[in-house]
Amino acid sequence: MEPTRCSGEGRGERMRIGLFFKTLVLSVSAALIIYALTPYSLAFLLKLLALALGISLLTPLAYPYARGVRNGDVVLLANYEASGFANLLQMNTAIALSSGRIGGRIRVTLPNGDEAEGEIISYAGFITPARVRMVEREFSVSVV
């Protein structure tokens, strides 16, 4: 079995920036098409472009709630010894082995290869991945 890579860099951040630009291109294109097909003034085009920008800014904010946590996502393990910003600095990350929503339980792979079960306590933010509180942990035992 190939070792699991648990880095602080999640694909969610890159994906949401890409989602913003894709939404921006699509909504600006739609605004220009609507403007071309209607006999309204330039002020109408500016309103359509403002609407397109607003939709593009809101889409990445709503996306984590629509998507949830999926298999293969990087998640941040909530650590009660360190709270708030200190937990963010430690970046104890894991890889989700199953999908879920807030309050649900998922399986994760820890950086040392052990598996654990955790409860999703928040979705991904702009900087941090989704947060998971460990509920159950399986330890690997080696006989020497």
Domain count, the chain: 1
- 3-state SS, one letter per residue, for the chain: CCCCCCCCCCHHHHHHHHHHHHHHHHHHHHHHHHHHHCCCCHHHHHHHHHHHHHHHHHHHHHHHHHHCECCCCEEEECCCCCCCHHHHHHCCEEEECCCECCCCEEEEECCCCCEEEEEEEECCCCCCCEEEEEEEECCCCCCC
Residue 100 belongs to some domain of the structure = yes
What pLDDT score was predicted for residue 10?
Answer: 47
Is residue 25 scored above 80 in pLDDT? yes
Q: Which domain holds residue 22?
A: 1-135
Residue 131 belongs to some domain of the structure = yes
pTM of the model: 0.64
pLDDT in tens, 29-50: 999 999 999 999 999 999 999 9
Residue 143 belongs to some domain of the structure = no
- Confidence bin at 97 (pLDDT 50/70/90): very high
